[in-house]
A and B are shown apart, each in its own frame.
Chain A
Amino acid sequence: MNTEVKETTTNIRDKRNNDVLLEVRNLKTYYPIKGGIFRKTVAVVKAVDDISFEIKKGETLGLVGESGCGKSTAGRTILRLLDATDGQIIFDGEDITNIRGVSLRKVRKDFQMVFQDPYASLNPMMMVGDLISEPIRNFTNRSSKDLKPEVMELLTKVGLPEDAYYKYPHEFSGGQRQRIGIARALALRPKLIIADEPVSALDVSVQSQVLNLLKELQDEFDLTFLFIAHDLSVVKHMSNRIGVMYLGGLVEVAEKSSLYAEPLHPYTQALISAIPEPDPRKKKERIILEGDVPSPIDPPKGCTFHPRCAHAMPECQQVKPTLKEVKPGHRVACHLYN
């Protein structure tokens, strides 16, 4: 098993396109459900089921999908906050899927996360200055005091006043806390930032401020983003490319313009038709999906979307479609395009 992994890694290194920062291959994350007296695994939740994609340096890949489709789990698995059941995560040419302990802690400084809930993601007992300098202190021997000028600079960069240094998280609003979270993620100058629904807990006016801040910082620090969200307009604003997830699988990946202009997968079509139109006179045809999302414990056979799909064919119930490049840079997992 181990030698196999090594071989594929070297293979990838040879073939690797130099500007690919993150490559995810056939990633699977299953949560076991334990039951009975002996805590045996009675079922698994297939939260992330066989997804593959890559992110180039400096680009933003948006990951959309409804609640429970596995996009957050995917993000956390890539950052090794959860263990992958199967598949490979190749970050900057290094397979990080199975590293552990100290070596894992060492690579953590290259990828950081901005969390969803700004009220839960900051330790309430720590001063903001300490919160922001903590990542740097974890990797160097420098003290809080020593790092103060850098922290002040970061605070200014994310648009917070310098006196925020001495305050505690409970003294800030949601948007300000999210800025603290961003400053903390930036402190180590990471290559990749995974933003897990960074604005979904904020109100709309603050959302745009935080999103613009993220874009500015991306230019300034040369960041690569994996941007996870359920809001299509937010993803459109942020991303270069977009991946659409449904029930743990990636159903479509394309350039932003191509995806919004011509969505190929029936699910993506339904999603995009649901974006509210600001012009009330403009008539728009909405595709309304029937039924609910099936349980990820027992996903439908074949294409997971077939029970709700208007174009379902007999083949869809039997064979699971794989992502195929239909147009240049536009990949879709659907039998309609075979």
Chain B
Amino acid sequence: MEPVTQATSAAVGSVIKPPKSQSPWALARRKFFKNKIAMISLVFLIIVTLLSIFAEPLTIPVEETAKINLTQMSKEPSAEHFFGTDKSGRDVFARTLHGGQTSLLLAFSITIAVITIGSIVGATAGFFGGWVDNALMRFTDFMMNFPFLLFVIVLKSIFLESSTATLIFVISVLSWTGTARLVRSKVMAEKENEYILSAISIGCSPFKTITKHLLPNVMSTIIVQATLTLAVMIVAETGLSFLGFGVPMNIPSWGNMLQEARSPDVLTSKWWIWIPPAAVLTGTILSINFIGEGFKDAFNPKSNR
């Protein structure tokens, strides 16, 4: 009996299988790297991120971007100002890069917070079920019922020294509910698998069962959810700043820059003031969504492209 099995598996190993065995993660990674659109998007996102991070050495310090220069008002793009200057004479190129720093930092921080809170709440509720699930989910419903915009505006006016950090905090606290529900439903489906029962029967503690057995298997969903959240959060920052409830006015951000397009004069005849941030913003959101799509395909065992 034994020699037969060994011979067959050896034969299978040498003929069909690739020489090195691959974890499900490695398989997904390979599939992702083969996805052209996702790769182009990833490169674009990395370039935007790097340019934003190195905004200061590349252009001017952030304090300079806020300085009003009346002699340089609304200048068209030139060699001196790549994207021209805005109505207060500030360099649009430098502000776009520095704005990217603010917008991306905000979006990434909120996403990390949202995914962390959402996963912990969702996994706990889904794994334990019963009254734990009931309590956590009713709390989630409660948080979900806050009208987002209204709440942000109210909280922003309470915290008078509104800074980027307050904004991150406020949006995170209000946005984790969707992720929690998603993770909970995934965990509930996944925990029906016998390997969870098997983990308990070999003496894993609930904490270990969740972190070592459940979470790795719902991680694909969490990662896809994270990319989608990231895109939504960039839009949220832009929307709030556009309305004047977001990042403080003295800090450049894509939303703050787009606010200038509220004046008809800028919108119609001074395109260079709002096109650059709008274009970078659109490109970033698109590429994040494409990357998310790519992740989704890579983790889906049914897609074989």
Contact = CB atoms under 8 A, between A and B. Distances in A.
Interface of A: 76, 79, 81, 105-106, 108-109, 112-113, 115-117, 120-127, 134-135, 138-139, 159-161, 163-164, 166-168, 170-172, 175-176, 181, 184, 187-188, 209, 212-213
B203 interface: yes
Contact of B1 (A79, A121, A209): A209
Given A113-B198, A121-B198, A127-B23, A139 B203 contact: yes
Contact of A108 (B22, B203, B217): B203
B170 interface: no
A168 B6 contact: no
B10 A161 contact: yes
Contact of B21 (A167, A184, A209): A167
Interface string B71-106: 000000000000000000000000000000000000
B202 interface: yes
Given A112-B201, A125-B24, A161-B9, A212 B194 contact: no
Given A112-B202, A125-B23, A135-B203, A163 B13 contact: yes
Interface residues on B, range: 20 to 34
Contacts of A170: 24
A115 B1 contact: no
B36 interface: no
A188 B202 CA distance: 9
B163 interface: no
B21 A168 contact: yes
A208 to B, nearest CB: 8
A117 B201 CA distance: 15
Q: Which of B203, B208, B213, B216 has the most CB of A within 10 A?
A: B203
B35 to A, nearest CB: 21
> What are the 9 tightest A-B residue pairs by CB atom distance, in nearest-first order?
A121-B194, A135-B202, A125-B216, A167-B21, A159-B2, A138-B203, A108-B203, A120-B194, A115-B194
Nearest to A188: B202
Contact of B217 (A105, A124, A212): A124
B200 interface: yes
B201 A166 contact: no
A313 B10 CA distance: 61
Contacts of A166: 21
Q: Which of B201, B202, B204 has the most CB of A within 10 A?
A: B202
B5 A176 contact: yes
B201 A159 contact: no
Interface string B37-70: 0000000000000000000000000000000000
Contacts of A112: 201-202
Contacts, number: 92
B24 A123 contact: no
A188 B197 CA distance: 17
B169 interface: no
A116 B194 CA distance: 8
A257 to B, nearest CB: 26
Contacts of A187: 202
Contacts of A125: 23-25, 216-217
Contacts of A167: 21
Interface in B229-256: none
16 contacts: A79-B201, A108-B202, A113-B201, A120-B193, A121-B194, A124-B217, A125-B24, A125-B25, A125-B216, A126-B216, A135-B203, A138-B208, A160-B9, A168-B24, A171-B17, A184-B198
A81 B24 contact: no
B139 interface: no
Contacts of A184: 198, 202
B117 interface: no
Nearest to B196: A123
A81 B203 contact: no
B24 A105 contact: no
A324 to B, nearest CB: 34
Contacts of B9: 160-161, 164, 172, 176
Contacts of B25: 125
A121 B198 CA distance: 7
Nearest to B194: A121
A273 to B, nearest CB: 32
Nearest to A116: B194
Nearest to A139: B203
